[in-house]
Amino acid sequence: MAALPVLTRSTLRKLLLLCVLVKPLSSPAFAQEQPRPAAAQQDESTPLAPPEDVSEAESANSDEGTHGAEVAVEGEEEGPKRSNAVSGAALRNENVFAAKVDNAGAKADGQRLGGTYIIIPHAVVETNFYATEYSQPTTELPVLARPPMANTWHGEIYETLQNSVFNARTFFQVGPVLPSRMNNYGIRFSGKLPGWGYLSGSFGQVKNHGMVNGNVIVPLLSERTPLATDPATRAIVQRFINAYPATAPNRPDFDTRALNTNSPQSTDSTDGSLRLDGRAGAHGIVSISHAINRQRIDAFQLVAGQNPDTSIHTQRFRSTYRWEASEATEFSVSGGFTRMRSSLQAEPNAVGPRVRFFNVIQNLGPDSFYPLDRAENTFHWGALGYHHTAGGKHRITFGGDMNRYQLNGMDQNGSRGDFQFNSNWGFSATENLLRGTPTSYAQSFGNMYRGYRNWISDEFIADQWNVTRRLQLYVGVRHSMNTAPREVNNLDVAPFRTDWNNFSPRFSFAVLGPREWVVRGSYTVSFSQVMPATYSQMRYNPPGSHSVTVNFPDPSTVVGVNQSLTNPLAGVDLTSPNARSTVTLISPDLVAPYSHQYNFTIEKKIGPAVVDIGYLGSRSIKLLNYFSLNRGLPVDGIPLTTATVNQRRQDPRYYEVSYVVNAGIGYLDAAQVSWRVPFHSGLSLSGSFTFGKALDQGVSYLSAAAARDNLVRPQQENNALEDKKGLSDFDSTRALSMAVSYTVPRYHIPGLLAKAAHNWQISGVAMMKTGTPFALYTGSDAPGFGNVDGVPTDRPNLLDPSILGAVVGDPATSTQILSKSKFAFISAGQPSGNLGFNVFRRGPIRNMNAALSREFALGQNRARTLQFRAEVFNLGNHPQFDAPANILTSSSFGKITNTLNNGRVIQFGLRLTL
């Protein structure tokens, strides 16, 4: 019998390393690898990603394999692995709301976690790689992966539990952690059904209920009595005031109006899938798969109506016939559909309209984009073939897909009404609320229900050429087409044409040099599409819809009772077909954005370690942008007041005009060093360091030129893109990630203690990044604060250039850096402030997660096991602070009032494998 290891100082030093980090990396070998199921890509030595950070797209794709990995150099999937990087982050603070529609979640994660830049060493033609260098998921053909077809039955049952009794308070929290719990449980199984084929499936639920803690800026107790004299106006003001908690502010240490409070939230999710695979003749395989996801969120409401309640239902069906014509040729055809139903509704206690104060106090919501109720149906057809030439020199890949997309439902843009209370007429926004004197009111009317249809297709062909034993080339081309959308009832007509000339060349190479050097490089062009959120804004235009903007005069000049709050649309033409309206115009030349993506890597084995040094870059062209046109410009003889904005607009037919165009470039350049030490003596290490910069001209690859995209970066002089050029919202210049896993061996310890101590696996993940950028705004368009052109989100003037580029990440010093004395409001008629966009940064991101696990054999052959796992997120309970209040008119300006991450969270899990 081999001698058991002794617990030495060297071993203890290994144990001390366990607070550093993880990132799974590709294998260094130079050969072909068979594809692995997506579910198998999770590294079990790392803490599991939190359930709420797994996107709908990820869970929906869990039944599909990694198409294209068969043609890659060994260890390279067709695209980057998804979201092991998120395992290095703390759990998201639940009081940072992110809507689960469109790409809002990706934008929120980008600001919270910073960009994760990924090298794409092998861009196969079967897949669209748009934005994958930013860690976004690739698209996939509807062709199901080859089934495992195991003859014996296997299964597992799992349960993961979080309970607030084990959690730490967040940085700003007042009082103890209030009760909350999360249960994540489910089953997976696979095996052979005699006479039917091979069945696999899964079922799981996540139930996350409890209290959400957060800070809101509320009126002082002395600011809870309306000052309006008109009884009807006083009643409305009182209704708005009653939406705030009756509790007095309790965090005067950082803001006299700050209240730390709690609100209940519940999230219930259900996932299920079934897949059946069977032989069809001697050379055929038929596969059928169906998956469902149901999610319901009763959102937290720190003030009444703050966030919409969400319900999202998704189902995916796929069927594939795979024909193995010979050992050299294989062909698959597939069909299926995907359906997603999304409903976001205002909670019952919402005050009705949206009421905005631009961070002087908490806005009353939810956003004007809700209620939203839509159904999206996509019918898929696809084909994929492979052919090996004699001798194995070439492998030809060919195929394509056709997708019929349907969007039915109702999207809103202000149908509930939108009051703005600004600093105006010599009063603050809070004082104007009490006086019942809003600065403006906007509302949309008409039929917002639409049904859009369009086709999306792709065709591709590629050749993987093994030139020599040491040189491999890959050359291919992919073509994409997106038809212009058609509204089924002809209520709208798309002004742009079918985008059909999108050709995507694919080229990559791999060279195996002497002494195990491996050099790789690739180049491709990837296309996005004109997103439904973009073109569906046609519904907001006349004649089907009508949007009104009213700017109110100084109440001291109004004769009689000011009726602006009780009857804001008095005197506005709502009946004439030619009535004035706010419109969203779409360029007739609108096409899909695209990216040039390129990278180069050198890999070398140094002792037991494998080191990669690489560069990745991209240029994203024709990004979806919008210009805010028809502003109120200075006109001789008309005073520059908020009441005259509509009089000073150049085109009297419209209020503000949003013009959607292809305008803007995204720039990414990054160098990356990664390393991995395979499992040796119970210890494995991996990590990476990335140095890069992401810039854009006002919009990024995530932009849809819709919804909240149109509320930021509006400042521009003659629509100059250079005025909006700056750091991308997700830019994180330096990023270090490291991981370690150690399996405790069996030491010289007698008896039961030896059995209890050995075979435990300890793992740790660390993530350290530069904080992400943020911008500052004036917060009022009124004289003395803004340029009075109808848009209140201009940037101020900077008086102290020494603070440019400052990191504002400490609540104790943030107001010293962002002192109001270092900025000035822009003057009436001034086109814009001189402060650039995103010139300040949040504090750095530093986080550690850890896990302790052990697998117990149940029986002699280890076919049945029970795994226990304890995981800790944010081990050091380190806060990641949000950006400070960024509105210059706010009394909270420069003050940090929230964290983006949760406090330390501990969860326990059991997994029974049979």
For residues 705 and 699, the answer to whether their CB atoms sit within 8 Å is yes
Residues 6+ away with beta carbon under 8 Å from 168: 177, 874, 877, 903, 904, 905
For residues 517 and 603, the answer to whether their CB atoms sit within 8 Å is yes
Surface-to-core class of residue 564, CB atoms within 10 Å of its CB (0-12 exposed, 13-18 middle, 19+ buried): buried
- The mean pLDDT of 469-474, rounded to a whole number, is 95
For residues 581 and 541, the answer to whether their CB atoms sit within 8 Å is yes
The 3-state DSSP class for residue 214 equals strand
570 versus 709: the higher-pLDDT residue is 570
Rounded Cα gap, residues 65 and 47, in angstroms: 23
Per residue in 115-161, pLDDT (tens digit) is: 999 998 889 999 999 999 999 988 888 899 888 777 889 999 999 99
Residue bearing tokens 């160098």: 671
Cα angle for residues 239, 245, 250 (degrees, 5° grid): 140
Q: What is the pLDDT of residue 465?
A: 96
140 versus 348: the higher-pLDDT residue is 348
Per residue in 252-267, pLDDT (tens digit) is: 988 899 999 999 999 9
Q: Sorting pLDDT into bands at 50, 70 and 90, what band is 25?
A: very low
pTM reported for the whole predicted model: 0.87
For residues 122 and 69, the answer to whether their CB atoms sit within 8 Å is no
Q: Sorting pLDDT into bands at 50, 70 and 90, what band is 52?
A: very low
Surface-to-core class of residue 847, CB atoms within 10 Å of its CB (0-12 exposed, 13-18 middle, 19+ buried): buried
Ramachandran category for residue 414: left, alpha or beta (phi over 0 → left; psi -120 to 50 → alpha): left
Q: What is the pLDDT of residue 714?
A: 59
Residues 6+ away with beta carbon under 8 Å from 219: 241, 244, 257, 361, 430, 433
The 3-state DSSP class for residue 7 equals coil
- Using the CB atoms, write b or e for 217-228: b if 16+ within 10 Å: bbbeeebeebbb
Query: H-helix or E-strand containing 310?
Result: strand 309-323
Rounded Cα gap, residues 594 and 697, in angstroms: 15
Q: What is the DSSP letter of 238?
A: H
Q: What is the pLDDT of residue 150?
A: 78
Per residue in 193-229, pLDDT (tens digit) is: 988 899 999 999 999 999 999 999 999 999 999 999 8
Rounded Cα gap, residues 673 and 685, in angstroms: 14
**pLDDT for 70 beyond 90:** no
44 versus 107: the higher-pLDDT residue is 107
Rg for the chain (alpha carbons), in Å?
Answer: 29
Per residue in 355-377, pLDDT (tens digit) is: 999 888 999 989 999 999 999 99
- The mean pLDDT of 414-438, rounded to a whole number, is 94
- The mean pLDDT of 438-447, rounded to a whole number, is 94
**pLDDT for 166 beyond 70:** yes
Give the start-end residues of each E strand in 804-913: 807-808, 823-824, 840-842, 845-857, 865-873, 905-913
